[in-house]
Structure 1
Amino acid sequence: MMAHNDSLHRGPRPLRTPPGWLDAQRICLYAAFVLLVNIGYLSLRIWFGCIDRIPNVSPPGWDYAVFWSASWLALHGPAASVFDTALIERIALPLQNMLPTPFVTPWTYPPTFLLVMLPAALLPFAVSCFVYVSAGIAFAYHACVRILPTVRNPGWWLPVIAFPAIWVAAAAGQNSFLTFGLMGLGLIALDRRPWLAGICFGLLAIKPQLGLVIPVALLFGRHWRALASASLTVGVFCALAGMVLGFDTFARFAQALPAFSQFVVEYSDRWPRGILTVFGAARHFGVAVPTAYGLHAVVAALAASAVAWLWATRATFELRASVLVLATLLVPTYVMPYDLLWLGLPILWLVRDGGRNGWLRGDGVAMVSAWLSPLIFYTPGDWAAGVYVPVIVLAMLMVVVRRHLAQHAAHAGEGASTALAYEQSGSNVCVR
């Protein structure tokens, strides 16, 4: 019996509180320092990109310049012209303060995102960019509050505001806030409002590579209504984009993808700061393209399998949501620093899960590393520091899997202890 009881307690032991080096005072101190780094980098971008105007130093909104340029072209001519790189660079490069370089500035998004961005050029570029980024931040913040209501408390503001990915995505003028909000709100609505969740997931068709793992989760989690809603939303979204912009935009998009993929492969071994995927890391270290794809496929398959497993076995919601987001960052071969805003989702969910179920040793190190990882954007381009990001994302994935195993073992132990207590109680009754 003693051996049986010991076996119930094998495995990682939960901690009742977070590690001592992650108390509230230290978190605020770390966050304040990182916030100063964020502000300093953005200030340099504003000074050298807007005021001093040093060539090839882009002011804030450098990626939004491509979105705004695509909107202008679509409003003033055939929408399919946005896929002509020469036309879009003629408008975008001056806004980006960039000289022509081998790193082209193409439009590589589907017509669904072009439909969303169509009104952008109705406003001047600077005003349009400010409105777009502000609305995106508000939408993402709403998702954060729904995930972890304590984010509203003043004590949470500093680590949330200092998260480097917020500053990277805002400075670029990227769509990460929109996709962050759609994924977060979709997962929050999944159990109680599956049709609304499916709509949120379907709207991620603006950036299809971020929706690759969602069907795996919905299938293995048996969320049929959400899956049907997502499929219907994608179909209606694409049909609406085709009717407004012309269905030839889908043909041009299909033609543009292979060319961009070839461009990425050609420069993948010397991409500034590296491509933040297993494929990008392998190429940076000189691995041949077929082998790099093979290594990436292995990791992607493992990540998708983890999603299937946790969703099929009904892990806690926080762990299921976290593993889906982390796998989404591991499956595509092309991930950029602004996409790391999505790491905020598993960090928030793991904080919530840790508050309910305790912590394991090493959880804090992985979460802090994930929170800091977007700082790689501030490093010199030739450092290619981003190639180490997949290791951090994988570490976060292992944190989720390990927590699931620990919680499953704890529940099994509680069940066995309860059964043993009933058995002993019955024996005592018989003796009497």
Structure 2
Amino acid sequence: MDVSQLRMRGTGERVRNWLTPERIVFYSVGMLLLFIVMMAVWAWSSHAFAERGVAAPGTDFSIFWSASYGLWHGSAAQVYDHVWFDGLQRRLFDDLHRSNLLPWLYPPTFLVFVSPLALLPPLAMYFVFVGSGLVLCSAGTLRVSGLTGSLRGSRFAWLIVAASPCVLVPAIFGQNSLLTAALAVFALHWLRRAPLRAGLCIGLLAIKPQMAVLFPLVLIAARAWRTLAAAALSAVLFGALSVLVCGVQTAQQFLVNTGLARATLLEQSRSYWLASPTTFAALRDSGVPIAGAYAGQASVALIAAAAAWYVWRGTRDMRLRVAGLMVATLLANPYVWHYELAWLGIALACLIARGLDTGWLRGEQTVIALAWLLPVYELFNRITELPQIGPVVLLLTLLIVVRRVRLGADARAGRTALVYSHAI
């Protein structure tokens, strides 16, 4: 008895299947064309991104490249100095139209990780950085989701993953979320067959440690002790290497900068709240005091962690496990920008493949469509200033994962009861 049969028995009606492989390909091609048109209009209206007061693509990547240059031509401690680093960026990129300060807020592990970037010119390395993240994230997503098989071997499987807004938005900014998503998805892909390699990937997430917050929980749930040990050891060694290369002072400066970012950006910046699909951002933008927003975020984080535990204990279906972990990670963090929704893209690929294979449950297709469009909503919400719906969409996505696991458990219990009744 598969999930679709269980659904039919429970509801007595068939769910309309409008999210077909053909339509998925059509929507993906349409999104890619819209992205190309948007970039062309953006370039034309800003005179090739040279107009004062207009943001340019790759803004975040320029921070990474500047940090690499500063490490080679200065010191790691200077990179963490806001004034020195801002002056360096302005000299390197002649960014006269940018008035806001873009400090280095990442841990020393990520500074070591990006250190090779300045070995090539910024434009060339931008395409290498974004391209490698896109390829790795797409390849890992296709492997864990089995989307190619679900589409009956369609050659468009790569396009569906790569043309997702969850990929296109971080590509615009040149963000590292495609690489962190790739590390996460390959860790899950190798979890059973190569536990030490999986642990190494998780350990490398020390470049953005908040994105690894739920990995220990699900590894314990799966009793993946070798992977857990490998992840802990590799994270410690990577952290020690970064301190050795950058100096103990940088670890202290990172903590200071983190506190400043929390006080000024996370807690007080409406520009951040409008682009952050988190419970904390939604509550703060609605006027909830800081203490109440933290309490709400903590409550949702506990729900997300409990859901991730339930999914990883309740099923061995790797697609549901991956989807549950990806969405729960986004919900558990108070500091998530729109580009971190690259992790959501992995979950959506797994859920689409599962739906195509076993049939759709009521409401699933609508939730997946809303989640697929969420990065676009968050990207433009600084202009539209609409209510922050991100946590609602993410909670609904997590709900359909949990429901799939529950129905699978009910199906197994039904089969057990049937066998028992026959035995009697």
Equivalent residues in 2 for 1:8-27, closer than 5 Å = 13=10, 19-27=16-24
Partners of 1:86 and 1:74 in 2: how far apart?
Answer: 15
State the one-letter code of the partner of 1:57. V
Partners of 1:273 and 1:296 in 2: how far apart?
Answer: 16
Partners of 1:163 and 1:53 in 2: how far apart?
Answer: 28
Partners of 2:36 and 2:90 in 1: how far apart?
Answer: 25
Q: Which residue of 2 aligns with 1:337?
A: 338
Structure 1 range deviating more: 49-58 or 104-113: 49-58
Q: Which residue of 1 aligns with 2:30?
A: 33
Partners of 1:37 and 1:393 in 2: how far apart?
Answer: 24
Partners of 1:239 and 1:288 in 2: how far apart?
Answer: 38
State the one-letter code of the partner of 1:133. V
Structure 1 range deviating more: 138-147 or 348-357: 348-357
Partners of 2:196 and 2:47 in 1: how far apart?
Answer: 45
Residue 155 of structure 1 and its aligned partner are, at CA, apart by 3.4
Partners of 1:378 and 1:311 in 2: how far apart?
Answer: 32
- Does residue 109 (structure 1) correspond to residue 106 (structure 2)? The answer is yes
**What do residues 22-74 of structure 1 show as CA deviations (whole Å, max 9, x unaligned)?**
12333233333322221122223333456262223222211000001111111
Partners of 1:50 and 1:83 in 2: how far apart?
Answer: 33
State the one-letter code of the partner of 1:44. V
Could you say what secondary structure the match of 1:222 adopts? coil
Could you say what secondary structure the match of 2:18 adopts? helix
Partners of 1:100 and 1:85 in 2: how far apart?
Answer: 15
Residue 316 of structure 1 and its aligned partner are, at CA, apart by 2.6
Q: Which residue of 1 aligns with 2:78?
A: 81
Alignment coverage as a number of residue pairs: 415
- Does residue 57 (structure 1) correspond to residue 54 (structure 2)? The answer is yes
Shift in CA distance, 32/57, structure 1 to aligned 2, threshold 3 Å:
same
Partners of 1:353 and 1:343 in 2: how far apart?
Answer: 15
State the one-letter code of the partner of 2:341. L
Q: Which residue of 1 aligns with 2:168?
A: 167
Equivalent residues in 2 for 1:90-169, closer than 5 Å = 90-93=87-90, 95=93, 97=95, 99=97, 101=99, 103-151=100-148, 153-169=154-170
Q: Which residue of 2 aligns with 1:269?
A: 270
Could you say what secondary structure the match of 2:157 adopts? helix
Structure 1 range deviating more: 181-190 or 409-418: 409-418
State the one-letter code of the partner of 2:113. V
Residue pair 2:284, 2:290 contacting (<8 A) in 1 also: yes
Q: Which residue of 2 aligns with 1:5?
A: none
Residue pair 2:276, 2:378 contacting (<8 A) in 1 also: no
Partners of 1:218 and 1:392 in 2: how far apart?
Answer: 26
Residue pair 1:140, 1:180 contacting (<8 A) in 2 also: yes
Residue pair 1:204, 1:211 contacting (<8 A) in 2 also: yes
**What do residues 351-404 of structure 1 show as CA deviations (whole Å, max 9, x unaligned)?**
333345433111111111111111124425243347211111100100011111
State the one-letter code of the partner of 2:164. F
Residue pair 1:276, 1:386 contacting (<8 A) in 2 also: no
Partners of 2:367 and 2:284 in 1: how far apart?
Answer: 25
Residue 75 of structure 1 and its aligned partner are, at CA, apart by 0.8
Shift in CA distance, 391/360, structure 1 to aligned 2, threshold 3 Å:
same
Shift in CA distance, 378/295, structure 1 to aligned 2, threshold 3 Å:
closer
Could you say what secondary structure the match of 1:171 adopts? helix
Residue 121 of structure 1 and its aligned partner are, at CA, apart by 1.3
Equivalent residues in 2 for 1:308-387, closer than 5 Å = 308-379=309-380, 381-385=382-386, 387=388
State the one-letter code of the partner of 1:264. L
Shift in CA distance, 332/52, structure 1 to aligned 2, threshold 3 Å:
closer
Partners of 2:320 and 2:11 in 1: how far apart?
Answer: 16
State the one-letter code of the partner of 2:401. V
Partners of 1:278 and 1:221 in 2: how far apart?
Answer: 28
Partners of 1:371 and 1:96 in 2: how far apart?
Answer: 36
Residue pair 1:274, 1:281 contacting (<8 A) in 2 also: no
Aligned-residue Cα RMSD (Å) equals: 2.5
Partners of 1:150 and 1:324 in 2: how far apart?
Answer: 18
Residue pair 1:315, 1:404 contacting (<8 A) in 2 also: no
**What do residues 281-339 of structure 1 show as CA deviations (whole Å, max 9, x unaligned)?**
00111111110111111000110111122223445322222111111101111111111
Unaligned runs of 5+ in 1: 1-7, 424-432
Q: Which residue of 2 aligns with 1:3?
A: none
Q: Which residue of 2 aligns with 1:193?
A: 194
Unaligned runs of 5+ in 2: none
Could you say what secondary structure the match of 2:71 adopts? helix
Partners of 1:17 and 1:175 in 2: how far apart?
Answer: 42
Equivalent residues in 2 for 1:289-308, closer than 5 Å = 289-308=290-309
Identity of aligned residues (%): 34
Residue pair 1:57, 1:98 contacting (<8 A) in 2 also: no
Residue pair 1:46, 1:60 contacting (<8 A) in 2 also: no
> What TM-score results when the alignment is normalised by the length of structure 1?
0.89
Residue pair 1:56, 1:97 contacting (<8 A) in 2 also: no
Residue pair 1:48, 1:57 contacting (<8 A) in 2 also: no
Partners of 2:66 and 2:9 in 1: how far apart?
Answer: 53
State the one-letter code of the partner of 1:318. R
Residue pair 1:186, 1:196 contacting (<8 A) in 2 also: yes
Residue 157 of structure 1 and its aligned partner are, at CA, apart by 4.2
Structure 1 range deviating more: 118-127 or 152-161: 152-161
Shift in CA distance, 337/386, structure 1 to aligned 2, threshold 3 Å:
farther
Could you say what secondary structure the match of 2:274 adopts? coil
- Does residue 222 (structure 1) correspond to residue 219 (structure 2)? The answer is no
Residue pair 1:199, 1:230 contacting (<8 A) in 2 also: yes
Shift in CA distance, 275/394, structure 1 to aligned 2, threshold 3 Å:
same
